[in-house]
Amino acid sequence: MRAPVKLALYFAGLVVVFVCSYAVAGAVVPPEAVRDWMDEDVPAHPSGPADPSAEPDGGDDHSPARPHPAGEDDHDQH
């Protein structure tokens, strides 16, 4: 057999497997389980992109919990 024919048969087999799996899941999994799964709480971690300027430990350079180095204060001196 030639390679393109083998690949086509392989991908056709994958499609058959996924379609059958979807059909079996639709017949076996109760709708209440799907609703409960969809209504679960939001995960603890935000889904947005991370702030590239944040430190790896989650703090930032201007955190009020972190003391300033000696001789610096919170206000800019102009």
Residue 29 lies inside a defined structural domain of this protein: yes
Please state the domain count of the chain: 1
* 17 pLDDT higher than 90: yes
pLDDT confidence tier of residue 7, bands split at 50, 70 and 90: very high
Range of the domain at 26: 3-38
Residue 17 lies inside a defined structural domain of this protein: yes
pLDDT confidence tier of residue 4, bands split at 50, 70 and 90: very high
What is the secondary structure of 3-56 as a DSSP string? HHHHHHHHHHHHHHHHHHHHHHHHHHS-HHHHHHHHTPPPPSS-SSPPPTTS-T
Once rounded to an integer, what is the mean pLDDT over residues 34-61? Answer: 68
Tokens of 38: 């969809």
Residue 25 lies inside a defined structural domain of this protein: yes
Residue 19 lies inside a defined structural domain of this protein: yes
Residue 13 lies inside a defined structural domain of this protein: yes
According to the model, what pLDDT value does residue 40 have?
Answer: 75
Residue 24 lies inside a defined structural domain of this protein: yes
Which residue bears the tokens 């057999």? Answer: 1
